[in-house]
Structure 1
Amino acid sequence: MPPSETTPLLNGNGSHSNTTFIGRVKTLIAAEGEPSWIASYRFFLFGSYLNLFLLFVPLSVISHQFNWDAALRFSFSFIAIIPLAKLLGEATEQMSAKLGQTLAGLLNASFGNAVEIIVGIAALLQGELRIVQTSMLGSILSNLLLVLGCSFLAAGFKFKESNFQVTAAQASSSLMTLACITLVIPAAYQSTLLANLASDDQSGLLVISRGTALLLLGVYVAYLVFQLKTHAYLFEAEEQEAEQPHMSVVAAGVALLGTTVVTSFCADFLVASIEETAERYSIPKPFIGLILLPIVANAAEHVTSVWMAMKGQMELTIGICVGSSIQIATFVIPLLVIVGWIAGPGHELTLFFANFETISLFVSVFLVNTLIQDGKSNYMEGLMLVTLYLVIALAFWVS
């Protein structure tokens, strides 16, 4: 066999190998100074033991195709989304390392909550409006209470007290308060005006929801400009050593798109099995939407946030937890309202959440605002946040 055909793909650095077909392909697919595609995908697929759970992706497909027990279909799809969420976060991070701060911010805005968007659209198109609402609310509560609380706890066991930029934290929490208020207004409208009129007409509520959704999207764009451009200095963390990217930009982009497609199928299978699973095993649907789905969707963020807190990077922790909640409240939920608007009758999503859900969000935002206003954190504050999350989870379990 000719030597050119036996030249190892990763080791062929000689002048002769560069003239071979393999050498030309390597030149095309790997930009100078970037990892090759093979090295990129080796890292992407084998860089974490969590990727072993990707075995549940084909199991999710098989169980759905052969209509296995609802609990198996739900469990397989549930577990499959965990490593997919991690891979989405990894691909986004690898692209961000090369494209700079502004484009990185836009990427994180688009793909940081990709799992929530995919699960939300899948549920919306299947007419599961309550699952959409509870899963979105659950993502906000999970980030604000569980993830931030665990981060404060983890940092508190290592440091007596942690400090962070109070102005940036307050700006973020104030925007979160605004988003919370925009959910209170539709609830107040539904509870008072329509109750007094004894009417089932939803036209007014739809107008309020759609108008508010458009305004919130505008506010979110303004927040991105505020965070990335005009007041970027408020959100800058301490300088860290730049890490070498493990994936090329093109390879990471392809991985991002591919993982998004696979996640969309698993999310569709997951949503399709919720109804039967909830009925057969007496699990409240609000509990599935509010507690279980967000834990899966935010799995990567949970680990990253706690890890950053233990390294003393509290600005990054606040940015992950509160920033992700802001994305859900001012970008993802309004986006789903507009998608429901386009999808037409049977898919029309409003910003009217049940009174109990609205109150749960309000008290959560109030507690977070109270705890971060001094720019310091400790383990006791983390314990308070986690406790409130467990109380809300218990209430939804018996609802």
Structure 2
Amino acid sequence: MNKIFTALVFIGVPLSVVGTFMHWSSILLFIIYCITIIALASFMGRATESLAVVAGPRIGGLLNATFGNAVELIISIFALKEGLIGVVLASLTGSVLGNLLLVAGLSFFVGGLKYKRQSFNVFDARHNSGLLMFGVIVAFVIPEIFTKTMTKNDTLNFSVGISIILITLYLAALFFKLVTHRGVYLTDDKNESRNHEEEPEWGTRKALIILALATLAVAYVSENLVHTFESVGEAFGWSELFIGVVIVAIVGNAAEHATAIIMAYKNKMDIAVEIAVGSTLQVAMFVAPLLVLLSLMFPVAMPLVFTLPELITMVTAALLMITISNDGETNWFEGATLLAAYFIMGIGFYLL
């Protein structure tokens, strides 16, 4: 599989450059861009997996989530530049749904087919549950309620205030997990010791160089991908909402999708869960508010206000994930439940 992705990178990147300058068909370019980004994301996933072996599951999961979300952040910034506010908000929704339902669901399902019962750090799960309640339910639902009677300018000011609070709390959460309470909540997990015995695929320096180069390549391809959205949407009858929730979210989170499933198959559930849930928290509490603040530099600013379908699906996904993960154990049926919820919501967004 790695050889296939390597070939796709060395073919896809030159084709993306040539196709852009030669003005090929938007649909053809859309397909080339998506495949290239997914292939580049696999390199990012392998690099962060190598770093995770050295740094441990928590930091490894955080690195994977960060660089995985970097792809979506880059796509969203270029979409903001083009004034595609609906696509950006929809992609944030899709990222939350994709991580909590698709990534976690596939991880639990694939890992559960090999192991009847898989466990992960229950203290991390409960800590993340509280942050999910705040980051997804409180921070996204409250603005929708209050902004009903606000002017456009007040709505934007309110969104900026919420964004600053979210980023501050997210940084405090990282400080809590990685500094003040690092090692306080540990479980006797045999996977942890096995983690330290495993040899990384790439050394630290090589992994960091590959991460940097892949991120630069993704930035270039993503900018061109955004320009194809309108033409592709008209050709296939896709709404702006569906493109953001499903297409951009899946392409933007390809690195996390692949790595989390591989980690679950290897019974490294601490890393798999940290990728799925940690990435969601990063999107809700860092990426989304950061985009709100960055949008102030563009002609059209983005308030942190979602549509009703987006809000209801995100809240449902968060509550379902909290219910399933709070016991620190999982199996294939729980994974199937998450996947079923994702497909139901995906059909709904397609038909909207």
Q: TM-score, normalised by structure 1?
A: 0.80
- Which of the numbers 177, 188, 199 marks the counterpart of 2:145? 188
Q: Secondary structure at the match of 2:41?
A: helix
> How many residue pairs end up in the alignment?
345
Q: Which amino acid aligns with 1:183?
A: F
For the pair 1:125 / 2:78, whether they are aligned, the reply is no
For the pair 1:349 / 2:306, whether they are aligned, the reply is no
- Which of the numbers 8, 13, 27 marks the counterpart of 1:71? 27
For the pair 1:374 / 2:331, whether they are aligned, the reply is no
Matched ranges for 1:158-177 at <5 A = 158-177=114-133
Give % identity.
35
* Alignment-derived partner of residue 291 in structure 2: 336
- Which of the numbers 197, 205, 227 marks the counterpart of 2:155? 205
- CA 1:231–1:214 in 2, change beyond 3 Å: closer, same or farther? same
- Which of the numbers 303, 315, 319 marks the counterpart of 2:274? 319
For the pair 1:279 / 2:234, whether they are aligned, the reply is yes
* Alignment-derived partner of residue 253 in structure 1: 208
Q: Which has the higher contact order (CA 8 A, sep 6+)?
A: 2
Shift in Å at residue 47 of structure 1? 5.4
After superposition, the C-alpha distances for 1:306-330 in whole angstroms (9 at most, x for unaligned) are: 2222232222221111011111111
After superposition, the C-alpha distances for 1:117-150 in whole angstroms (9 at most, x for unaligned) are: 1111111111111111111111111110011111
Q: Secondary structure at the match of 1:113?
A: helix
CA contact (8 A) 1:227 1:235 kept: no
Paired with 2:259 and 2:213, the residues of 1 have a C-alpha distance of 23
Shift in Å at residue 106 of structure 1? 7.0
Of residues 310-319 and 201-210 in structure 1, the stretch that sits farther from structure 2 once superposed is: 310-319
Q: TM-score, normalised by structure 2?
A: 0.90
Paired with 2:344 and 2:290, the residues of 1 have a C-alpha distance of 30
Q: Which amino acid aligns with 2:272?
A: T
After superposition, the C-alpha distances for 1:275-327 in whole angstroms (9 at most, x for unaligned) are: 11101221222112111222222222222222222232222221111011111
Q: Secondary structure at the match of 1:188?
A: helix
* Alignment-derived partner of residue 87 in structure 1: 43
Paired with 1:104 and 1:285, the residues of 2 have a C-alpha distance of 34
Aligned-pair Cα RMSD in Å: 2.3
* Alignment-derived partner of residue 67 in structure 2: 111
Paired with 1:100 and 1:150, the residues of 2 have a C-alpha distance of 22
Shift in Å at residue 70 of structure 1? 1.4
- Structure showing greater radius of gyration is 1
For the pair 1:49 / 2:1, whether they are aligned, the reply is no
For the pair 1:135 / 2:88, whether they are aligned, the reply is no
* Alignment-derived partner of residue 224 in structure 1: 174
- Which of the numbers 130, 135, 156 marks the counterpart of 2:112? 156
- CA 1:223–1:185 in 2, change beyond 3 Å: closer, same or farther? same
- CA 1:95–1:164 in 2, change beyond 3 Å: closer, same or farther? closer
Q: Which amino acid aligns with 1:382?
A: G
Paired with 1:298 and 1:229, the residues of 2 have a C-alpha distance of 27
Q: Which runs of 5+ in 1 are unaligned?
A: 1-45, 195-200
- Which of the numbers 18, 26, 31 marks the counterpart of 1:62? 18
CA contact (8 A) 2:108 2:332 kept: yes
* Alignment-derived partner of residue 252 in structure 2: 297
- CA 1:60–1:159 in 2, change beyond 3 Å: closer, same or farther? same
Q: Which runs of 5+ in 2 are unaligned?
A: none
Shift in Å at residue 388 of structure 1? 0.7
Paired with 1:58 and 1:276, the residues of 2 have a C-alpha distance of 22
* Alignment-derived partner of residue 135 in structure 2: 179
Q: Secondary structure at the match of 1:350?
A: coil
